[in-house]
Every structure is written in C-alpha cells, then in structure tokens.
C-alpha cells in the first residue's frame, strides 16, 4: 500500500489529537484512504514537553522550516493557531507545492484571501474543515452536499465557551461572571476569554461560512459583533417566560440587496432544536431553497473532535494527490463569483427585537413609549409590564417587536431613552424565529 507523509506544525491540544487518532485508528483510516498516513515530522516550541508523541511520529523538532523544505512531505498540517508564524508556515508550504490542512479560523477569517490566492496559483489544496464547529462536518456539507441550493441562511451556535456560559447562567441561575469562572475552572474558557465571550471567534467562523454560502470573499471586517459579556440573568429569565432561550448565534442571511453577517446574543424559540443545544456543543442550521432546513450538531472543539475533522481533510487531500487542480472542490465552494454578495451595514439588517426598558411607575409611561414605536413604524408583538417594587417608584417594560429595520429600532431606542419617564439604558436583544 502507498504511504503519504505529512508534517505537522503545532503539538498542542489539536496537534496532539491528530497524532493520537492517526496512530490509534491507523488500520481503519488506511483501509478507507487506501494509503498509510505517516506523520514524518512534528514541530513545536517545546518538543521536550511532548515526549508522549515520540512513539507516534517520525521525529519531533522545533523548526517548521524542516517540514516545508522536505520534498517527501506531501501535506503540511498547521495546528499552531494564531496569526504568526501560522501564516508564514502555510504560505511557505504552499510555495513549496504542498497541500495544506489547517484548523485556524482566525487566520482564515483575516488572511484567507491571501492564502487561497497563493494556493490557487500553485494548484494545491487548502482544507479547513476543523476551522468551524470542530468535529461537525459543516464546511463539507455546505461546500459539497448543498451545491444544488440557493442558500438562504446559516445560523449557528459556533462558540462552545459562550454556549456553556449561557447554559450555566440559565440552568444554575448564576451571573455571567460566575459562569465564566466556572468555564475557566473546567478548561472551557481561556485565562483571557475575550475572543470567545466577545463574539470574535464566532464572527471568524460565521464569516467563513457566509463566504461558502453566498460566494463572496471572507468579510470578517464587515461583520457586526456583539458578545455576551453584558448579558444579565433577568433577561434570560424574561426570555424563558416568553418561551425563548438566549443563545450566542452567528447569523448570515441572503437579502435582496446583500448579505447580513452578524454575531449577537439571540432569543431562539424553545421549540427549535437549536434551543436545546446546551453546554459546549455546537450546531449549525443551514437553509436552502431546495433542501429546506438542515441542521448539523456535535462537539465544536476539543482535541479529538478537531483531529477528526483534520484527518478527514487529510484523507480528502490524499485521494486527490496527483490529480489536476481543476478537479478539486473550489476552496470556498464557488469557481466564480456570480452575484452581489456584499455585506450590508448593520442598520440595514431586518430583525425582531426584545427590549427591556426601565421606567418610572407613573401614569402615561406606556403610552409615551408606545408612541415612539408607532412613530418609527415598529409594531409591538407582545408586552410584559413588570409590577413596580413597592416604594421604589420604578418598573420595567419588556416587549417584543415584529420584524423591523435595525436603524429604526436604534433610533426608537435613542428617542425612548430621552423620555423623562425612562430610567437608564435600554437592554436590546435580537430574536430569530428560525421558521
């Protein structure tokens, strides 16, 4: 049987998983791939700490240039994470005519176009299934299995850390800070959790999916991003009462004039499957005009789930070694751009809204607030007016709107916050019915 040699840069959680799974399931994998996949080199900053990998791989070193310069290596696997030196490694590997497999969403979201252009010129494959939603094969599903469809929307829980925090806040009635601390203790959140909780990581991923869905360039720089740092338990409880769960969603949709691309905490009806995706698990719903609604669920991170996706990419590449590049699946699904797929400014987004408005407990308050919505052409779907706490003289109006322009809602909020009867900032959460 043939053997294909790969070089792996990065021996952390992900790189270690790749070595372990390739080794443990070698027989299965080679029976499927038709070739034995050998890890010739692993490079990392501290090889002395990864002696556990020595029996699993050819050699363990420190310099990724060895991988790039070895003509025996057919596939360069990047599991370093971060921008540099991952970007340099990948570009050098492409330049040396090697195929590339990576899990690096941050790099692709920011430098994908440069990397994909370089790969196209060399005729090599850059595969990145593991970059979005870990072990869930969402990239392949969208790029290959849904090709017949005009995609309408992609909506996903694609950051496990945030989903764990939101699930804990709701189930255990603990604050954001407490839930974050719990996630950190369990290893689900990093010491600096901002990429996850501020929505950056989810925005990287939904930007990649948006490009595959609609055929435009990766537009991370145009995504609207709002995280969960300021989310309060009171709003999770109101949402519950109204039949919704709060989830951090990555959302991209086709509209007549362009593409919506946004990440924010979102009310999801509890009758939808996405509402029942708890803990660190991920799920992505893709709607197409022919297939209707499909959903893909599984572990969004972790050593072996990520390795599962990377090895699937490696096997795909192994099969295409020696085949002319015009037979490859196009890197973002499209061989040519076909329509206007520019990202719309957030103000032009259409959504429905949950708003919590602190008001003084005085006659006419509700009329004043309602008048602003009417003036802005925003229609109220339902309303809860919370009873005043005796002696405090203040209360909350919680309401849900029908769909409205984001810009109109922001203007309504500005006007309502200026009313005398309104106390403090209005809390805004967006809602997706997913119907």
Name the residues that contact a copy of itself, by CB under 8 A.
Answer: 17, 21-22, 24-25, 27-29, 31-34, 129, 135-137, 140-141, 144-150, 215, 273, 276-277, 288-299, 302, 304-305, 307-309, 311-312, 315-316, 319-320, 322-323, 326-330, 333-338
Task: Specify the residue, 137 or 193, whose C-beta has the smaller distance to a copy of itself.
Answer: 137
CB 289 within 8 A of CB 150: yes
Residue 257 CA to its chain's centroid (Å): 24
Q: Which neighbouring-strand residues pair with 180? A: none
Q: Is 301 annotated among the ligand-binding residues?
A: no
Cβ closest to a copy of itself, residue 88 vs residue 340 = 340
Q: Are 100 and 92 in contact (CB under 8 A)?
A: no
Residue 167 marked as a ligand binder:
no
Backbone φ, ψ for residue 199 (5° rounding): 85, 0
Q: Between 173 and 337, whose beta carbon lies closer to a copy of itself?
A: 337
**Minimum distance from residue 80 beta carbon to a copy of itself (Å):** 20
CB of 123 to a copy of itself, least distance (A): 14
3-state secondary structure of 246: strand
Token pair 């996949």 is found at: 37
**Any binding-site annotation on 281?**
no
User: What 8-state DSSP symbol labels residue 209?
Assistant: H
Residues annotated catalytic, as ranges = 205
**Is 12 annotated among the ligand-binding residues?**
yes
156 is in an annotated binding site: no
Instruction: Please report how close the Cβ of residue 232 comes to a copy of itself at its closest, in angstroms.
Output: 27
Q: Residue 271 CB, nearest distance to a copy of itself (Å)?
A: 8
Which of 298, 238, 301 lies closest to 273, judged by CA? Answer: 298
Residue 17: φ, ψ to 5°: -60, -40
Task: State the CB neighbour count (10 A cutoff) for residue 2.
Answer: 11
**Angle at 341 (CA atoms; ends 377, 113), nearest 5 degrees:** 135
Q: b/e map of 405-421 (b: 16 or more CB within 10 Å)? A: bbebbebbbebbeebeb
Would the annotation count 105 as a binding residue? yes
Q: Which is nearer to a copy of itself, 258 or 298 (CB)?
A: 298
Q: Closest distance between a copy of itself and the C-beta of residue 286, in Å?
A: 9
Based on CB atoms, which residue is closest to a copy of itself, 12 or 47? 12
DSSP secondary structure letters along 63-112: -THHHHH-TTEEEEEE---SSTTHHHHHHHHHHTT-EEEE--HHHHHHHH
Residues making up the binding site for NADP(+)? 9-16
Binding-site sequence positions for L-homoserine: 190
């Amino acid at each position: 049987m043939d053997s294909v040699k790969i070089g792996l840069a990065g021996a952390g959680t992900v790189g270690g998983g790749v070595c372990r799974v390739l080794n443990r399931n070698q027989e299965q994998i080679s029976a499927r791939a038709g070739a034995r996949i050998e890890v010739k080199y692993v490079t990392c900053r501290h090889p002395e700490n990864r002696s556990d990998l020595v029996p699993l791989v050819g050699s363990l070193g420190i310099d990724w240039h060895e991988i790039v310069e070895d003509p025996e290596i057919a596939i360069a696997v990047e599991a370093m994470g971060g921008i540099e030196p991952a970007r340099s490694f990948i570009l050098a590997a492409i330049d040396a005519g090697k195929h590339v497999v990576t899990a690096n969403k941050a790099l692709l979201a920011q430098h994908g176009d440069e990397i994909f252009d370089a790969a196209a010129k060399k005729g090599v494959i850059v595969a990145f299934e593991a970059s979005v939603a870990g072990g869930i094969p969402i990239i392949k599903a969208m790029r290959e299995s849904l090709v017949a469809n005009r995609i309408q929307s992609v909506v996903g829980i694609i950051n496990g850390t945030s989903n764990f925090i939101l699930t804990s806040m709701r189930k255990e009635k603990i604050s954001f800070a407490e839930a974050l601390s719990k996630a950190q203790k369990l290893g689900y959140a990093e010491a600096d959790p901002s990429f996850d909780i501020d929505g950056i990581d989810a925005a990287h991923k939904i930007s990649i999916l948006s490009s595959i869905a609609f055929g435009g360039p990766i537009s991370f720089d145009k995504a609207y991003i709002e995280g969960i740092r300021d989310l309060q338990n009171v709003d999770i409880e109101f949402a519950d009462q109204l039949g919704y769960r709060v989830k951090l969603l990555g959302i991209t949709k086709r509209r007549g004039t362009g593409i919506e691309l946004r990440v924010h905490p979102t009310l999801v009806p509890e009758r939808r499957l996405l509402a029942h995706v708890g803990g660190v698990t991920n799920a992505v719903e893709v709607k197409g005009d022919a297939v209707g609604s499909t959903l893909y669920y599984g572990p969004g991170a972790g050593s072996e789930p990520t390795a599962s996706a990377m090895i699937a990419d490696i096997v795909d590449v192994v099969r295409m070694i020696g085949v002319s590049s015009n037979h490859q699946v196009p890197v973002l699904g499209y061989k040519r751009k076909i329509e206007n797929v520019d990202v719309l400014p957030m103000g032009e987004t259409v959504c429905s809204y949950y708003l919590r408005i602190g008001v003084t407990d005085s006659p006419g308050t509700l009329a004043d607030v309602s008048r602003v919505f009417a003036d802005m052409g925003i229609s109220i779907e339902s309303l809860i007016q919370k009873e005043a706490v005796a002696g405090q003289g203040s209360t909350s109006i919680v309401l849900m709107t029908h769909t409205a322009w984001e810009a109109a809602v922001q203007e309504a909020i500005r006007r309502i916050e200026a009313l005398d009867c309104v106390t403090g900032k209005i809390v805004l959460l967006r809602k997706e019915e997913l119907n």
